[in-house]
Amino acid sequence: MSTNHLLEINQYGQSIWMDNLTRDIIQSGELKDMVENQGISGITSNPAIFEKAIAGNVIYDADIEAGVRAGLQIQEIYESLVFADIRNACDILRPVYEASNRLDGYVSIEVPPTIAHDTEATISEARRYFQEIGRENLMIKIPGTKPGLPAVEQVIAEGMNVNITLLFSVESYVNTAWAYIRGLEKRLAEGKDISKIASVASFFLSRIDSNVDGKIDAKLKKGIDDISVEAKLRAVKGKVAIANAKVAYQEYKKIVRSERWKALAEKGATVQRLLWASTSTKDPHYNDVMYIEELIGRDTVNTVPPATIKACADHCNVSDRLETDVDKAYTLIENLKDADINIDLDTVMDELLDEGIDKFIQPFQSLMNSLEDKIKVLSPV
């Protein structure tokens, strides 16, 4: 039997979660097997994942039809389908949650992407989701927008687990980490237990390289007269996301060494782990598992889509690399400002955040349209 390299990664303090959830893998027993035997210790989901899972899949038709007979609206039918899958996944992962002392075993569900810029609506939906799904090992995904961070702080203070998503810049990660800390401090000041709350900060990878590479390719396409300048541009391709992540991890280390964090840790608080997201390699010329191999390290999570899970299980070269070449990472990020490269990383990150929200709004709306079509077909005449 060949070695499953995913099982080796946990030895370096990193957990592997799967970025996918469908009713098929729940009912077939595939998810249970992946959790029990293949090293998967958590699940993340998003509107794009559920759009692919539900649209065109007859496995949901009976429940859709039941919702129609019950007089439910489209949004209510959507939630009935998704909440059921989330609950069942939480139940499958509950043994991991208990065995890991609440470190792993979480299932993430995102609040509607249409409210990413609405603090109060995000708080309200997070409360409702957490209450209606009713599982301790549920994580509420909240986008790391400026209006999202006060929501994160409040939701943490109320005792919910939170996955802050769509983080691209190091600054956005740092802001997220302090929002988590403020939420814990607020809860502690109210005399409440902070030892059973978990959070991850989902730091996106491949989309950064896709954006930066596109800008570099555009420069190269125009033609570069100076060979040294061309070499500088080519040296950056496919390197920015990993360098950015390594810099973010150094910020994580500074935060957990702070007096504010130490005071919370003494009261039982759990560190907010960095979670590497968007880890499928978009460029076929790159190593298909590079966003896993290069970022294995302590107190982190990597959330991986199914195809990349299979690839890593087969041929990941597992080693603790998160803190290797850190100086080079800082240098590479700084070199983007060089006049010959001239890529404004802040602009890139702003573009990616806006695009990220749109990429979730579009499939969410598409799913609503698909459900509407299914309801028309399944509705009794």
Strand partners, 17: 303
Distance from C-alpha of 2 to C-alpha of 4, rounded to nearest angstrom: 7
Q: Is 282 a catalytic residue?
A: no
Sign of CA pseudo-dihedral 155, 156, 160, 163: positive
SS3 248: helix
In the block, tokens 């003494």 appear at 266
Distance from C-alpha of 98 to C-alpha of 111, rounded to nearest angstrom: 25
In the block, tokens 């995102």 appear at 110
DSSP E strand stretches across 4-136: 14-19, 40-44, 106-110
> Could you give the angle at which helices 74-99 and 119-133 cross, rounded to 10 degrees?
70
Which residues have CB under 8 Å from 336's CB, separation 6+? 212, 236, 240, 342, 343, 344, 345
Residues 303, 44 contacting (CB under 8 angstroms): yes
In the block, tokens 């009976």 appear at 62
Residues 59, 24 contacting (CB under 8 angstroms): yes
Residues 150, 173 contacting (CB under 8 angstroms): no
Residues 106, 138 contacting (CB under 8 angstroms): yes
Amino acid identity for residue 233 in this structure: L
Distance from C-alpha of 71 to C-alpha of 57, rounded to nearest angstrom: 22
SS3 203: strand
Which of 52, 141, 196, 221 is labelled catalytic? 141
Catalytic site positions: 141
